[in-house]
Chain A
Amino acid sequence: MGASETRWCLRPGQHLAYRQWDGECVLYNDLSGDTHLLGDGTIELLLALRRGPATREALAAVLQAEFEIDAAALARETDTLLEDLRHLYLIEALAC
Chain B
Amino acid sequence: MLTAASLTAASLTAASLTVASLSRSQLATRLAGPGLAVRTGPFASRIRSTIPQVADGIELLYGAYPLLGDEDFADFHVGLRRPGGLHRWYKPQVSFDLDGLVPFEPLPEAHAFPMLEWGLNWCISTRAHAYLMIHAAVVERDGLAAILPAPPGSGKSTLCAALVHRGWRLLSDELALLRPQDGLLLPVPRPVSLKNRSIDVIRAYVADAVLSAPVSNTTKGTVAHLKAPAASVARAGESARPAWIVFPKYEAGAATSLETIPRARAFFRVADNAFNYSHMGASGFATLAGAIDACTSYDFRYSDLDEAMAVFAALEAPQ
Binding site for B on A (CB under 8 A): 15, 17, 19, 21-22, 24-26, 28, 30, 33, 35, 37
Contacts and interface: CB of A to CB of B under 8 A. Distances in A.
Contacts of B267: 19, 26, 35
Contacts of B262: 21-22, 24
Interface of B: 262-265, 267-268, 271, 278, 281-282, 285-286, 289, 292-293
13 contacts: A17-B282, A17-B285, A17-B289, A19-B289, A21-B263, A22-B263, A24-B262, A24-B265, A26-B264, A26-B267, A28-B285, A33-B278, A37-B268
A72 to B, nearest CB: 29
A17 B285 CA distance: 8
A26 B263 CA distance: 10
A21 B278 CA distance: 21
A35 B285 CA distance: 8
Contacts of A35: 267-268, 271, 285
For B268, B285, B289, the residue with the greatest tally of chain A CB atoms inside 10 Å of its CB is: B285
Contact of B282 (A21, A22, A24, A28): A28
Contact of B264 (A15, A17, A33, A37): A37
Contacts of B268: 26, 35, 37
Contacts of A33: 278, 281
Contacts of A30: 282
A27 to B, nearest CB: 9
A66 to B, nearest CB: 18
